[in-house]
Structure 1
């Protein structure tokens, strides 16, 4: 009876993207958190002529797959499973590809969980496990959580292997620390594209800490030319700007396909940094690409914050997995000794719905699809919720927990409240009698988390 629901949804998404004036972005062989497929053509146009090309933080290697091959090419990833997958693709035979075709490629939670716990020994089976888990996991992080958006959807991975795998034939593949590969291939005829982890973006892309000082030292010592994309947080951007490197701010739209679950920021802001001047034509702005000079924000008085509050309603027999909690309360001293006004909380709550609208787990990864936001509102008056007094202007958030795993953690008392994180600028208090020093409006860089 016509197309399946999953196909209908995919077709609807393409129509909506077309109405936005944006074509859907086709992945390379697999997707990668914060991958550069959308920017790949522009980035390739910015690269100078070279004989050796290196991607020390390959991920999905979108730039490599977009550019013409040169004499020497090398890619590396700290995730050794990614490096292993590239090597398996390089030696995949026609017989192996035929065998790969016979394995499951449709989204199914039971298959996903079975593969997650499996320890395949054969090359084809290892490759299939990696590709399947990457395609159908939340955030492409190959975590234990299956994305329900993929249920019943046929992956396009096999067609992408046919299209892109031949490009890997002469590429050297490494796994482990980036510096060893950088040092091995650095030289006057070398160009490097760098897309390292972005500190301070754990919730968005699941990345951990990154040693910016060490990386900065490596960048300053390179003989070759390098182009880098980076986040706007952390210490490195200011260090690079102060050292005279070319630092531009770029903004690209997030189309529906790139939205982070429910809602999502309409614009993705990153830095484009290089030790040479990219071609002016490649830096021309357009409807899908805004570029300007970047200046570091004033550092003094700026500090990260995390505020955690308890759930007001949790496990009850008839609650249908409904969880309600306070996110921020006005005129209440938090763990950093700061106080938020009702106006500041209103601004943060509205920004959350406009630019984020999804949730993360323990400030590490998105759980959109496992948790649905049902209500986000500001208390219009003082009122009591059971034995808890809620003050006017308090931001409350209600969610329904869809995941059995997460719901079990709520019931067991492992997840006990919402936590919001971000950055704020301290302002001097008006007078000694004014109470604790107020903060600027919470930036809410990190949306509320289950904590």
Structure 2
């Protein structure tokens, strides 16, 4: 299993083994809300694969890894973790950057920030700074994994309309309902639109969502599996808690 180059809120590192074991036979694999891509990088390759996210900087990162990973590694090789560098990258106007420089900026901010949010410089007294992005060769395996993948930057409903077939499988991990911390807003209306699209889906899907009375009601006609996951960006063990999540399928 490959490890994604970044972390994202709600990432499926703790659930991906369970999810991968539940994936049915398919020809076309689609991730509607890619994030860090824990499931995609962990599963076996499908005949056709599609990754999608509405975050332009995130998708640009994976496009640049796919096409220009040697140059990204060359430019990061002699970089280091520093607050001034972090703030400089943070305050860049991305409109004046090349796509490669945008990818480097995004990767640096995510890897050197607290909780992978890209907002505040991450530091500590019990662990070293994240070094992964500074090592040569670290992106090569990811580039090979992305080689035959379609990379989309569209709304989820457009991706469903374009790729839904009887032989398509969709892994769906939307922003959780009534949960803060996400960069892009995902309203109740968005959740209901997603639910309605899935009701009429030709292919198969697996959706992960937080356990909430409304989410249970929305998907009551599908198969629901309850799981508990340990999530926390806190530095102390006492703040780590188990949260209930739902794995919902139409098969």
Q: TM-score normalized by structure 2?
A: 0.87
Deviation track 1:307-360 (CA, whole Å, cap 9, x = no partner) reads xxxxxxxxxxxxxxxxxxxxxxxxxxxxxxxxxxxxxxxxxxxxxxxxxxxxxx
4+ aligned runs moved over 6 Å, structure 1: none
Helix, strand or coil for the counterpart of 1:217? Answer: helix
Q: Please state if 1:183 is matched with 2:161.
A: yes
Q: Please state if 1:196 is matched with 2:174.
A: yes
Kept in 2: contact 1:199–1:208 (CA 8 A): no
Kept in 1: contact 2:173–2:209 (CA 8 A): yes
Cα distance in 2 for partners of 1:206, 1:121 equals 21
- 1:239-278 superposed matches below 5 A: 239-241=218-220, 244-254=221-231, 258-262=232-236, 263-276=238-251
**How far is 1:93 from its partner?**
5.2
Cα distance in 2 for partners of 1:140, 1:60 equals 10
**How far is 1:142 from its partner?**
2.2
Kept in 1: contact 2:115–2:233 (CA 8 A): no
Deviation track 1:182-219 (CA, whole Å, cap 9, x = no partner) reads 1111011000000001121105x556342222111111
Deviation track 1:404-451 (CA, whole Å, cap 9, x = no partner) reads xxxxxxxxxxxxxxxxxxxxxxxxxxxxxxxxxxxxxxxxxxxxxxxx
Cα distance in 1 for partners of 2:109, 2:225 equals 35
Structure possessing the higher relative contact order (Cα contacts under 8 Å, 6 or more residues apart): 2
- 1:29-428 superposed matches below 5 A: 29-92=5-68, 94=70, 96-104=71-79, 106-119=80-93, 121-143=97-119, 145-149=120-124, 153-157=129-133, 158=135, 160-203=138-181, 205=182, 208-210=185-187, 211-233=190-212, 235-241=214-220, 244-254=221-231, 258-262=232-236, 263-276=238-251
Cα distance in 1 for partners of 2:20, 2:130 equals 31
**How far is 1:70 from its partner?**
1.6
Cα distance in 2 for partners of 1:111, 1:223 equals 48
Number of residues paired by the alignment?
243
Cα distance in 2 for partners of 1:78, 1:234 equals 27
Pair member with larger Rg: 1
Cα distance in 1 for partners of 2:49, 2:88 equals 36
Kept in 1: contact 2:172–2:208 (CA 8 A): yes
Helix, strand or coil for the counterpart of 1:202? Answer: coil
Helix, strand or coil for the counterpart of 2:177? Answer: coil
The residue aligned with 1:444 is none
Cα distance in 1 for partners of 2:69, 2:37 equals 22
Q: TM-score normalized by structure 1?
A: 0.50
Deviation track 1:122-169 (CA, whole Å, cap 9, x = no partner) reads 3432221010101122332222x2222399614213454233221001
Kept in 2: contact 1:191–1:224 (CA 8 A): yes
**How far is 1:40 from its partner?**
1.4
Structure with more of its chain in strand, by fraction:
1
